[in-house]
Amino acid sequence: MEIFSKRYISNHSVSKNLPQGRNLVKNSYTESNIKAAMKVWRALVVVGVVLVVMSMGGLAIHQPTKSTSSVNLPANGSGTDVLLVHGYSVGNTGSSGSSVFQSGVNIYQQLVSEGYNVGIVSYYGYFTVTFSNGYTYTDSSFYGTANTPIQDVSAEMAKFITQFTASAPVTMDIVAHSMGGLVTMYMLENYQFPNVDLKNVITIATPFDGSPFASIVSYLGLDIFVGYQADQMAPGSSFLTNLQNNLASAYGTYSHTVWIVYAGNYDPWWGYLFFSGDNDGVVSVRSAASAGYDYLYYFNDLHTSFLDSYTWSGISYFEDQSVANTISANLAGSY
């Protein structure tokens, strides 16, 4: 990891503040940019999609019979509950929260060993939150796919938190990777949880200002393969515009929360084709930081450092233990 830097912004400024000493230019993803690199990427994108489809056994959208059941909630302890929210995955159930946060550098196990009650959120397939204390929440009335609007995932997570905290106050942290940060931010903009003391929100390489790859798949007509969620992450989408316009609502409601951004500045060779500033090959520093923050940390790589290991939910590819260590330090109140 490079020496990370941090900068405090008073009153949770939402004016897209950026750290000093960085000459970052707002990304421009024009059609001409995409065409210029299309010869290189057309084959890679198509082959990549084919491989993903093969690995997942197809992209058929399941429509199971939906049922509801009563939820028996455990008594909340005096400790802190930590929610881990994974990112985007092509297909229906390709990226469960468990596979994301328990492989590579095992962030889940590290937090559990430090005494946190850690809940892994999985929103592909039936919505499930699996806690380290043995409790599992499942909502069989919700079945998520890559076509499920991000705001619907946010509403489902809000439903869970509301029920989970109905009987007693809870101290909570949220750690969200990539699209998981969009899910989290939209939820906090639109829902309130009076029984939750939300201490920290960490968003890791979240495309608050979009990712050029979302534009590429739309340009190539691959939406049918990658799902509606990818469209929502395209720069300038109505979803992202609405999210940016309502940031003050989240910061005002959760005024005592510490907002932390992790951004990757790996700058891989293909990043120069699509980004005008530092990036991790999927999300630029500019995009990750564009929602504002209290503290901003730079890491070398937060998606993937190898093209042949390319993944949208690449927290499992973290090669740097310092990412997990910094999460631990931040949740303990060290910034």
pLDDT at 106: 74
Q: Which two tokens stand for residue 293?
A: 């923050």
Task: Write the CA distances from 210 to 28, 116, 173, 181, integer angstroms.
Answer: 11, 32, 24, 12
- The partner residues of 280 in beta bridges, in order of sequence, read none
pLDDT of 94 higher than 80:
no
Task: List pLDDT tens digits, range 139-198.
Answer: 999 999 989 999 999 999 999 999 999 999 999 999 999 999 999 999 999 999 999 999
Please report, rounded to a whole number, the percentage of residues in the chain having pLDDT higher than 90: 49
> With bands split at pLDDT 50, 70 and 90, how would you rate the model's confidence at 318?
very low
- Structural domains of the chain, with CATH: 10-17+33-56+77-331 (3.40.50.1820)
* Alpha-carbon gap, residue 36 to 136, rounded angstroms: 48
pLDDT in tens, 204-214: 999 999 999 88
State the average pLDDT for the chain: 75
For 135-152, write each residue's pLDDT tens digit: 999 999 999 998 999 999
Gap between the Cα atoms of 25 and 287, Å rounded: 10
CA distance 124 to 288: 23
Q: Closest Cα to residue 302, out of 201, 208, 205? A: 205
Extract the tokens encoding 175: 């750690």
Asked if 87 and 95 count as a contact pair (C-beta separation under 8 A), the reply is yes
At 100 the pLDDT is 54
What are the tens digits of pLDDT across the range 3-49? 343 433 333 333 334 333 333 333 434 444 444 444 444 434 433 43
pLDDT digits (tens, 9 = 90+) for 113-126: 999 999 999 999 89
pLDDT of 289 strictly over 90? yes
How far is Cα of residue 87 from the mean position of the Cα atoms in its chain? Answer: 4
Please report the pLDDT score of residue 48 as a whole number. 46
d(CA 291, CA 222): 28
Share of the chain above pLDDT 70, in %: 67
pLDDT of residue 110: 87
Predicted local distance difference test score (pLDDT) of residue 187:
98
What does the pLDDT read at residue 160?
A: 98
SS3 string of the chain? Answer: CCCCCCCCCHHHCCCCCCCCCCCCCCCCCCHHHHHHCHHHHHHHHHHHHHHHHHHHCCCCCCCCCCCCCCCCCCCCCCCEEEEEECCCCCCCCCCCHHHHHCCCCCHHHHHHHCCCEEEEEECCEEEEEEECCCCEEEEEEEEECCCCCHHHHHHHHHHHHHHHCCCCCEEEEEEEECHHHHHHHHHHHHCCCCCEEEEEEEEECCCCCCCHHHHHHHHCCCHHHHCHHHHHCCCCCHHHHHHHHCHHHHHHHCCCCEEEEEEECCCCCCHHHHCCCCECCCCEHHHHHCCCCCEEEEECCCCCCCHHHCCCCHHHHCCCHHHHHHHHHHHCCCC
For residue 90, CA distances in Å to 49, 220, 275, 282 come to: 8, 16, 23, 15
Residue 312 in contact with residue 302, Cβ under 8 Å? no
Asked whether the predicted pLDDT for residue 72 surpasses 50, the reply is no
Q: Average pLDDT of 254-265? A: 95
| pLDDT surpassing 50 at residue 249 | yes
pLDDT interval class at 322 (50, 70, 90): confident
Judge whether residue 265 has pLDDT over 50.
Answer: yes
What's the whole-model pTM score?
Answer: 0.77
